[in-house]
Structures are given as C-alpha cells and as structure tokens.
Amino acid sequence: MATMPAFLKRTPARGSGQQPPADPPDPPRARRDPFQLRPLPQEDVYFYCKKIDNSRLVREADPRTRGATWSVAGACFSLLAILALAQIPNVLTTLAGYKLETLRTEERRYLDERRTLELQEATLLSPERLEKLAQEQNLVTPSSRQVIHLDSRPDGAVAMVH
C-alpha cells in the first residue's frame, strides 16, 4: 500500500501513544520460469456475443427523412448528369481517334492493293508479253500497204469512203 494517498491511510489519534503499524514488507519475488512467456496485454478480457432479437420492433416512418432522401438522390443524379455531360467531348474525341485510325489502316490496305494491281497491269501490258501473245495467236505487223492514214479535212469528214 505504498502507493495509497496519505489522506486515506489510517492514522491513530494524536493523543494515543501508539505508533502506526508499519507497512507489511513486500513478499519476496517469486522465481520465474525463464522459458515461460510473458502474458499478452488484455488477455484477461473476454468478449461475449449476446443475441438480440429485434424482430418484434417496427420502424416508425419519418416524413421529413423521405423528403431529404429524395433531395439527396436528386442532387446526386444532377451531379452525375453534369459530370457525364462534361465527359461527352472527351468520349467523342476518343471515338473519332478510333475512327481515324481505322480509316488510316483502310487507306494503307487500299494503297497496297493499288500497288499490287498496278504491278499486275504493268506485267500484263509489258511489250515482251504482248509480243509473246501476238506470236501465239499468229498476229503479224501490218505492211505499209495495209496502213491507211487519215488526212484531216476541213469539211469535217473523218473517213474515206471506198
């Protein structure tokens, strides 16, 4: 009781010649097992779960909270609509970017196809190939007698009548 405040200690009356009893000496420290773990803090506290049955309770409706709930829901919806409208330009820009990239890809594909077709046309119209086809079909170069040159006439006639 060394920590007890002095005014709570019992003191004998002043007139009696008795000495106050001395505090009992502290008990000697018990020898601790060196392998025993220290106690954890709050390990002597126990929690119990008590079952509470609220099934018989009926909630009383408060008319003011219904209006407040609708006001909050309306404000949230308005805020959501404003934010959605603010994001429309960003979304449209992104969609336009996707469309532009699709068109660029399509343009590259068409240019490749055009190059391929031009190469095929050049190989089909090459003089060596045409000469080879003419020989296969027994076509010959016309003689000078077979060629008729048209003269340009001022009267507008274009061909000679035979």
What tokens does 37 get?
């773990």
For the stretch 37-48, pLDDT in tens is 888 888 888 888
10, part of any domain: no
Q: Could you tell me if residue 86 is inside a domain?
A: yes
Summarize the confidence of residues 114-120 as an average pLDDT.
97
Domain span holding position 89: 72-136
What integer is the mean pLDDT of 55-64?
86
What's the average model confidence in pLDDT over 142-152? Answer: 80
- Tens digit of pLDDT for each residue in 70-106? 899 999 999 999 999 999 999 999 999 999 999 999 9
Residue 150 domain-assigned? Answer: no
Please say if the pLDDT value at position 29 is more than 80: no
Q: What are residue 99's phi and psi, to 5 degrees?
A: -65, -45
Alpha-carbon distance of 110 to 102, in angstroms, equals 12
The better pLDDT of the pair 85, 61 is held by 85
C-alpha–C-alpha distance, residues 121 and 123, integer Å: 5
Q: Each residue of 149-160: pLDDT tens digit?
A: 777 666 665 555
- Which amino acid does the sequence have at 108? R
Average pLDDT over residues 21-37: 72
Position 18 in a domain: no
Position 115 in a domain? yes
Banded pLDDT at 12 (limits 50, 70, 90): low
Our count of domains for the chain comes to 1
Residue 50 lies in a domain: no
Q: Which of 37-46, 73-82, 115-124, 125-134 has the lowest mean pLDDT?
A: 37-46
Query: Residue 123's pLDDT band (boundaries 50, 70, 90)?
Result: very high
**Is 93 part of a structural domain of the chain?**
yes
